Structure 1
Amino acid sequence: MENFPKPKVVLSKCINLEATRYDGGIIKDEFSKKLGEFVEYIPVCPEVQIGLPIPRDPIIIVKNNPDKLIQPSTRIDLTQKMKEFSKEFLQSLKSVDGFLLKSKSPSCGVKDTNYYKDFEGREPVGKTSGMFVRHVMEMFKNYPVEDEKRLIDKGIRELFLTKIFAFADIRNLKDNLTKSNLIEFHTRYKLMLMTYNQTNLRALGKIVANLKENKLFDAYENYAQIFRNSFNKRPSVGAHINTLLHAFGYFKDKISVKEKAHFLDIIEDFSKETVDLHTPIELILGFAVRFDEDYLLKQRYFNPYPKELRRL
């Protein structure tokens, strides 16, 4: 059984937790509910926490210089209140690994909030990020920030899960920091880093190769910053195939011709997207168990997050 550290995730309070929506409603989301079994949620409702009631008249983002957060029915400008709350709340977070927020919300929407050119909210001119999210992205660069609707997409969901569990792992390392633990951490993440960002893998390798006990904390801080900057986009199919073939190299002289041909056929199927990534991964893990290849069995690339979350 894989032992995963528990990510800390800021969650919009209206998702499964409390009826804090502008219309007094609550959002039921099965993914967020299941994820809650494996993470620690930090609930937030920026609109309620700046003093707006439940229910309340809607608020909107108005395109301006700078943009404004306005309640059309009262013409109240809430921009400064939201800015002050956002900065205070985010600065109060002692530790966090990601954000799961409400789609389309003028405070929490990640990319799909309506953007208006008039203070009455009559004419949307496009989509934008909510006002709270803008501060999140400014203060927590490279951290995973998603909403419940975007996570319906399998690729976005897998990247989000990979990041929150990797970020929890690097955060947990800080509480148990030794030279050997940092080296072991880097070893476990080599194949994942090879897949996501080979430039950063080389930079992190240099940090680990030059560790000094009297500067271990500084080395960790440098390592953690580069590590968190390594997962900014989903890897290509080609990047995954490169990693899978690298891992397969550990067994190519130990298995039969038929086994080798079968594995390469699976890789071909994966390249054509007729099988998913877990199919070649399970073959690699089977070989690793058979030949007791401990290095590969410990690679986080093969088990980036709890298996129960794959089925969502």
Structure 2
Amino acid sequence: MNKFVKPKLVISKCLAYDCSNYNNHNNTFFEKLEDYLEIITICPEADLNLTELKEILIKKNNLYNQNKLIEEIKVLNEDLVDLLSEIDGFILKGELSSCNSMNCKFYKSYGNLYLSKEIGLFIKAISLLNSKSIIESHSRIDDISIREEFLRKIFLWARFRSVQKSNSLDSLLNFHQGNKLLIFAYGSKYIEELNDLISTSSRGNLEKVLRNYELKLYQALSSEINVGNSISILLNCFRFFSKYLLPTEKDIFLKSLEEYQLNQAPLSILQYMISSWINNYQVSHLKKQRFFNPYPRELMEVKSSELVLQI
């Protein structure tokens, strides 16, 4: 299978290295990530001057518009702007007010009455400075389906970021060809629109083509992977390989497919099965498809409250 581009991931410093704040199993997960991702650890409150920004917002009764907020962030920490421009994902400690995705209270400059409940300041800064980054909290990432969704997206964004840096039409064409099924799994209309864009790419300005491709890709990844589309891909592949499979292999696959449809099993189990068949029977046109190998196999881990099954 193809090599992986290392995504850039920001993790709350207290999650990455303070074992007292996280259980042993999830610290193992973070240790695994270090082998396959470029990890940046930050404390939003201390490292990014968000405490000072909070004080400014309190004095202004939180009446800043977005442009003024961005200007204030740049004044307080210009490095933050550069840092966020190339980050693919964030795993944040949701209990921190600055990292809360909802219900963060903004107070008046006096008294105990709050003006509004909004997202935390750091998440607000991320959304303003790099709206395409994938953000998750440490409590949600423990869910296997959410974890897989997060990994799929950040590795896909990292691959596309590499294409943007190369500024090469050939790189874009290779990316599109290799990620067709994965993008289709997020929505058939998106791959159709991207196919149309690619078909006219040789006649257009490459910078504009890349910008439009990024926009369509972002729209596709704004939702979760579509179960129906994923099952369609899996069944087509299963039919292709069925002539090679033993009855027990067929039964295991179909049972796992049913469990996935009922949200009782993760997609990675089925991806792993088909990926092994692709390698065993050397099916070259499927080997290139990232749908079956969206992120390093070592990170494919099926987890429940009762057991951990490493596949």
Alpha-carbon distance, 1:247 to partner? 2.7
The aligned amino acid for 1:229 is Q
Alpha-carbon distance, 1:88 to partner? 3.2
Alpha-carbon distance, 1:160 to partner? 1.3
Alpha-carbon distance, 1:85 to partner? 5.5
Question: Could you tell me how far apart the structure 2 residues matched to 1:182 and 1:38 are?
Answer: 23
For 1:137, the equivalent position in structure 2 comes to 127
The aligned amino acid for 1:222 is N
SS at match of 2:15: coil
SS at match of 1:229: helix
SS at match of 1:43: strand
Superposition CA RMSD, Å: 3.8
For 2:87, the equivalent position in structure 1 comes to 96
With normalisation by structure 1, the TM-score equals 0.75
For 1:232, the equivalent position in structure 2 comes to 222
**Percent identity over the alignment?**
28
Change (3 A) 1:288 1:309: closer
SS at match of 1:10: strand
The aligned amino acid for 2:6 is K
Question: Could you tell me how far apart the structure 2 residues matched to 1:81 and 1:27 are?
Answer: 34
Residue pairs, 1:138-287, within 5 angstroms: 138-212=128-202, 215-251=205-241, 254-255=243-244, 258=247, 262=251, 263-287=253-277
For 1:9, the equivalent position in structure 2 comes to 9
Once the two structures are superposed, residues 13-35 of structure 1 have per-residue CA deviations (whole angstroms, 9 ceiling, x without a partner) of: 33335x8xxxxx98456133432
SS at match of 2:36: coil
Alpha-carbon distance, 1:257 to partner? 9.0
Q: Is the 8 A contact 2:186 2:220 kept in 1?
A: yes
For 1:66, the equivalent position in structure 2 comes to 62
The aligned amino acid for 1:15 is L
Q: Is the 8 A contact 1:104 1:110 kept in 2?
A: no
Q: Is the 8 A contact 1:179 1:213 kept in 2?
A: no
Change (3 A) 1:286 1:145: closer
Q: Is the 8 A contact 1:97 1:167 kept in 2?
A: yes
The aligned amino acid for 1:45 is C
SS at match of 2:295: coil
Q: Is the 8 A contact 1:116 1:125 kept in 2?
A: yes
Alpha-carbon distance, 1:10 to partner? 2.5
The aligned amino acid for 2:32 is K
Q: Is the 8 A contact 1:10 1:96 kept in 2?
A: yes
Question: Could you tell me how far apart the structure 2 residues matched to 1:215 and 1:95 are?
Answer: 23
Alpha-carbon distance, 1:171 to partner? 0.6
The aligned amino acid for 1:9 is L
Residue pairs, 1:23-34, within 5 angstroms: 27-28=21-22, 30=27, 31-34=29-32
Question: Could you tell me how far apart the structure 2 residues matched to 1:129 and 1:178 are?
Answer: 38
Alpha-carbon distance, 1:114 to partner? 4.4
Q: Is the 8 A contact 2:104 2:117 kept in 1?
A: yes
Alpha-carbon distance, 1:92 to partner? 1.7
Alpha-carbon distance, 1:225 to partner? 2.4
With normalisation by structure 2, the TM-score equals 0.76
Change (3 A) 1:104 1:186: same
Alpha-carbon distance, 1:261 to partner? 5.4
Change (3 A) 1:307 1:135: same
5+ residue gaps, structure 1, are 20-24, 69-78
Q: Is the 8 A contact 2:100 2:120 kept in 1?
A: yes
Alpha-carbon distance, 1:227 to partner? 1.4
Alpha-carbon distance, 1:293 to partner? 1.5
Residue 109 (1) aligns with residue 92 (2): no
Q: Is the 8 A contact 1:47 1:107 kept in 2?
A: yes
For 2:45, the equivalent position in structure 1 comes to 47
Question: Could you tell me how far apart the structure 2 residues matched to 1:41 and 1:299 are?
Answer: 26
SS at match of 2:97: coil
